[in-house]
Amino acid sequence: MRPPGWQPRLIALDIDGTTVHEKNPPSPRVLAAIREIGRHAVVTLCTGRTVLGVGHVLDQLQLGGRPAGDRYTDRFVDTEHTTVCSNGAVVLDTGSREVRYAIRFEPGPVVAAVREALPGAVFGCEEVGVGQRVGAPFPDGILAGRVRVVDEAELLGEPTPKVVAYWPHGTPADVAERMAEVEVPGAEVSLDHELPWVSMVPEGVSKASALAEVARVLGVAQADVLAVGDGDNDRAMLRWAGLGVAMGQAPPEVKADADEVTGTVQEDGLAAVLERYV
């Protein structure tokens, strides 16, 4: 239970399906709410996107300012704001757009496990700040940055912070059914509820783990964190935050992990949450 008059000190926002809808920019109402709440709390985007996929959203939101009275120490000494990318595996300095750190793993065992469950899947390995190396072409516009089609040896030859798999032979429900009993070694797995897509990052890494580190450096208690999201990759973050809010269009399992549910992204559900604390 939060005390009367509770105000969040750190606000973690998913991007797709929360802050923006499809390829549209944030709505005027959402934009105004984020900018206003940013005067009183630190706003951190927590996304599955790579560092190359977040820049224009950061520009639209004008994130990177310095809330009065807050100071950083330790890893984030050069900035008041960070952006959590790649489901927690990469953390970006919001102001300078410099990568603060990236946690990598070997993609070979991950690809082998998922390929067995999803025969014919196309795999991509993130190259931080550059793009993706892929085993075969992905649908146009689905990956950010330079996309290189490489052979198997090169695809699996270097550690990466995130592996993605696109399965063109089924629906998101088909992917969920096939992946339900799959053990992916050394990885945290999240599924997409709109695309036949699987994302994998190193074991123990999530939006929640990265957000916990951001809060620790800021000196913000877990109880004073507000998180909003709509996807499988948001579930741990919603459970961890002092107040976790699921978007109205989120799948039932995501809503079950949240403290409350707001309106859909089309209804500006994020703005409805933030306006309570402005």
Q: Please write down the HEC assignment for all residues of the chain.
A: CCCCCCCCCEEEECCECCCECCCCCCCHHHHHHHHHHCCCCEEEEECCCCHHHCHHHHHHHCCCCCCCCCCCCHHHCCCCCEEEEHHHCEEEECCCCCEEEECCECCHHHHHHHHHHCCCCEEEEEECCCEEEECCCCCCCCCCCEEEECCHHHHCCCCECCEEEECCCCCHHHHHHHHCCCCCCCEEEEECCCCCEEEEEECCCCHHHHHHHHHHHHCCCHHHEEEEECCHHHHHHHHHCCEEEECCCCCHHHHHCCCEECCCCCCCHHHHHHHHHC
Cα separation, 275 vs 29, whole angstroms: 10
pLDDT tens digits for range 91-121: 999 988 999 999 999 999 999 999 999 999 9
Residues 6+ apart with CB under 8 A from 82: 44, 76, 91, 92, 93, 94, 100, 214
pLDDT, residue 1, reads 72
pLDDT, residue 23, reads 86
Between 101 and 77, residue with greater pLDDT: 101
> What predicted TM-score, i.e. pTM, was given to this entire model?
0.92
pLDDT, residue 80, reads 60
- Percentage of the chain lying above the pLDDT 70 cut: 94
Structure tokens at 32: 């105004």
pLDDT at 278 over 70: yes
pLDDT tens digits for range 205-246: 999 999 999 999 999 999 999 999 999 999 999 999 999 999
